[in-house]
Amino acid sequence: MSPEALSIVIPSHRRADLLRVCLTSVHQYKHSRTQVIVVDDGSPDGVVSRVAGSFPGVEAVRHERALGFAAAANRGIAAATGAVIELLNDDTQVTAGWADAALAALADPTVAAVAPLVLQGPRGDAVPVIDSAGDDYNPGGFARKRGHGEALSARFGDPCEVFGASASSAFYWADVLRAVGGFPEDFGAYFEDVDLAWRIRRAGYRAVYEPRSVVWHRVGSSYRPRRALLERQSQNEERVFWRNVPDVWRKLPRHAGVLAGKALRRVREGTLIPWTVGRLRAFAEVPQLLQSRTRSGAE
């Protein structure tokens, strides 16, 4: 696949220093004809756009106010010209050959999404720690990052099929991404990639994990204060269940059991209140979420 087949979309809100590090790595390792788009999601005084403009060939799309990760990603997708689009967080660093390995995995016509090996850092660990080796989805209705928090080992050394790709770094066929509607903008951020993964699977495509495509991720950076982050994560995780899981009523008892276990863990962590607020917001939306199942083909 030729280099111009790839467009890299990097949404960024106000983290100019992190974005500069990210773009430095992209500039170092990308092919010269790869399109790079930074979506300035309402940064103060346009600082994100200025950082983007300091790198040759980088295009900037600016919002006057912050719309959230999903909406910013969709604006970048709309501006992309490549046959393949990589969504990339602004707090990541790519490595040599990361794009070539992912593009090679997309040669399989049944594959529409590729999940790189995303490592936490770089931070000087003797053995790198995994952020994500693709996403899995639990039958009880919950997503998890494969390998999250584990030391890198041979278990993650081979490509394999996964449920989906974490949008911290994820490659998609552009036509499939647009055909299924892109990222759900009402999610803002968090679990928007899981909702997208469901729609890609319903369209008849697979996602694969490619360990030769390696990306570093500074885990812990966020658009939001911690409480708002936890509320949004909880709400969106529940939204994904009601919008997408087949036979949702039959799965509900198992889902409720897993919810009870998660609540106990939140009590121990001291985060039960924001977790509960997020769930209650999602429960209030259940009638609309069930309607969206029909529109998206979940039933």
Dump pLDDT digits (tens) for 155-170: 999 999 999 999 999 9
Residues 245 and 145 in one domain: no
Residues 142 and 189 in one domain: yes
Domain endpoint, select from 164, 183, 217: 217
Residues 95 and 172 in one domain: yes
The pLDDT tens digits of the residues spanning 13-55 come to 989 999 999 999 999 999 988 999 999 999 988 899 999 999 9
Residues 233 and 96 in one domain: no
Domain endpoint, select from 217, 240, 264: 217
The pLDDT tens digits of the residues spanning 54-84 come to 999 999 999 888 999 999 999 999 999 999 9
Residues 80 and 211 in one domain: yes
Q: Alpha helices, DSSP H only, in 11-68?
A: 16-29, 47-53
Q: Are the C-beta atoms of residues 274 and 234 closer than 8 Å to each other?
A: yes
Residues 67 and 158 in one domain: yes
Residues 278 and 146 in one domain: no
Range of the domain at 233: 226-296
Question: Residue 76 corresponds to which tokens in the numbers above?
Answer: 């970048």
User: What percent of the chain lies above the pLDDT cut of 70?
Assistant: 95
Return d(Cα 223, Cα 116) in angstroms, integer: 23
Q: What is the mean pLDDT of residues 116-135?
A: 94
Is the backbone of residue 161 left (phi > 0), alpha (psi -120 to 50) or beta? beta
- In the block, residue with structure tokens 């890299």: 8
Q: Would you state the pLDDT for residue 44? A: 85
Averaged pLDDT score across all residues of the chain: 94
Q: What is the mean pLDDT of residues 108-120?
A: 98
pLDDT of residue 288 exceeding 90, the answer is yes
The pLDDT tens digits of the residues spanning 218-275 come to 986 555 558 889 999 999 999 999 999 999 999 999 999 999 999 999 999 999 999 9
Q: What is the pTM of this model?
A: 0.94
Total of domains in the chain: 2
Q: Are the C-beta atoms of residues 9 and 73 closer than 8 Å to each other?
A: yes
Q: Would you state the pLDDT for residue 297? A: 64
Return d(Cα 68, Cα 47) in angstroms, integer: 17
